Amino acid sequence: MAMFIRVDIDPALQQDPALAKRVAEVCPVDIFKVVDARLETVEANLDECTLCDLCTIAAPGKISVVKLYR
């Protein structure tokens, strides 16, 4: 389980396999993977997130990166 962030994926994104693939491709630390055309997070990599916002830029309003710390 991630200690620093949580990634929320809008279920509507799962209806767009091309966008799911794009989100997985833009992440520099591989916190996303596409399985059966659905976007999933790679739990082991979540704490590697650099908060670069590339995923949220690639899928505006469909991905949220929530900080679990202050």
pLDDT of residue 15: 92
Confidence band of 70 (pLDDT split at 50, 70, 90): confident
* 7-27 pLDDT, tens digit each: 999 999 999 999 999 999 999
**What are the boundaries of each domain within the chain?**
5-67
* 33-53 pLDDT, tens digit each: 999 999 999 999 999 999 999
At residue 1, does pLDDT exceed 80? no
CATH 3.30.70.20 fits 5-67, yes or no: yes
Tokens 């990634």, located at residue = 7
Q: Evaluate whether 32 touches 50 at the Cβ level (below 8 Å).
A: no
At residue 3, does pLDDT exceed 90? no
pTM of the model: 0.89
